[in-house]
Amino acid sequence: ITSMTFKTINSDKQGTPYSDAVELGDLIQFSGMLGADKNGIVEGGLEAEVDQIFANLKSGLEHYNLNFSNVVKCLVLLKSMDEFEIFNNAYLKHFTKPYPTRSAFAVLELPRGASVEIEFLAKK
Q: Are 116 and 79 in contact (CB under 8 A)?
A: yes
Q: 61: which residues sit within 8 A by CB, 6+ positions away?
A: 28, 67, 68, 70, 71, 122
Residue 19 pLDDT: 78
Backbone φ, ψ for residue 99 (5° rounding): -75, 155
| pLDDT band of 17, cuts 50, 70, 90 | confident
The pTM for the full model equals: 0.89
For 31-59, the pLDDT digits (tens) are: 999 999 989 999 999 999 999 999 999 99
Residue 1 has pLDDT above 60, yes or no: no
Distance of CA 28 to the CA centre of its chain: 12
pLDDT tens-digit map of 80-98: 999 999 999 999 999 999 9
